[in-house]
């Protein structure tokens, strides 16, 4: 009897706690800060902004190409990345973690980078959601690799 009751509670909680929302392609616009972490220089924090496209492959895997502009040691830098986001749908929000390989162009150099990210998406109205994301990345440029932290928030517009 206890097992049957435990299975019934598990089924009820499992089917109501995780409700899949309709998935559609969305365009995101965000702003935040970018901070570079180098051993030989003090931390440098700058304003960052950019955009991303969220493409659901399945309900728990999204591809997200993105671009972000910020300043790196007084020079404008641009990141182009393709994030692979693994989504955990919850009742009122979607949590995600992922990896983001890409390229960073700063001044006259272009270098590959790889990063790890995590964030949350909260629906506001029918086709607009709010997101917040943190990304830590390593840029492979020259003898010393640069490390950056990016914290962004913004809006996602679903189509």
Q: Does residue 73 come out as left (phi exceeding 0), alpha (psi in the -120 to 50 range) or beta?
A: left
- Report the C-alpha dihedral over residues 148, 84, 16, 13, rounded to 10 degrees: -70
**Which of helix, strand or coil describes residue 44?**
strand
CA distance linking residue 135 with residue 20, whole number of Å: 25
- Across the 159 residues of the chain, what is the mean pLDDT of every consecutive 10-residue run? 55 47 85 86 87 94 96 90 96 95 92 96 94 95 86 94
pLDDT at 21: 54
How many residues make up the chain in this entry?
Answer: 159
Contact by Cβ (8 Å): 63, 57:
yes
pLDDT at 22: 56
User: pTM for the complete prediction?
Assistant: 0.81
pLDDT at 105: 94
Q: Where are the domains of the chain?
A: 20-158
Q: Does residue 3 come out as left (phi exceeding 0), alpha (psi in the -120 to 50 range) or beta?
A: alpha
H or E segment and range at residue 3: helix 2-17
CA distance linking residue 107 with residue 3, whole number of Å: 64
Two tokens, residue 76 = 């404008």
Contact by Cβ (8 Å): 39, 61:
no
DSSP 18: S
Contact by Cβ (8 Å): 104, 120:
no
CATH 2.40.160.20 is right for the domain spanning 20-158: yes
Handedness of CA 10, 11, 16, 17 (dihedral sign): positive
């Amino acid at each position: 009897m206890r097992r049957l009751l435990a299975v019934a509670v598990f089924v009820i909680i499992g089917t109501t706690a995780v409700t899949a929302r309709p998935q559609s392609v969305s365009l995101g616009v965000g702003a935040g800060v970018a901070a570079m972490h180098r051993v030989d220089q003090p931390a440098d924090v700058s304003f960052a902004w950019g955009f991303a496209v969220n493409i659901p492959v399945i309900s728990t895997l999204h591809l997200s190409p993105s671009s972000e502009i910020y300043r790196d040691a007084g020079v404008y830098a641009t990141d182009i990345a393709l994030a692979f986001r693994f989504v955990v749908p919850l009742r009122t929000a979607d949590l995600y973690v992922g990896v983001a390989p890409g390229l960073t162009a700063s001044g006259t150099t272009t270098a590959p980078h790889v990063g790890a990210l995590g964030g949350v998406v909260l629906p506001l109205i029918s086709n607009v959601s709010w997101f917040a994301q943190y990304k830590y990345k390593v840029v492979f440029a020259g003898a010393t690799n640069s490390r950056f932290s990016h914290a962004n928030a913004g809006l996602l517009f679903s189509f």
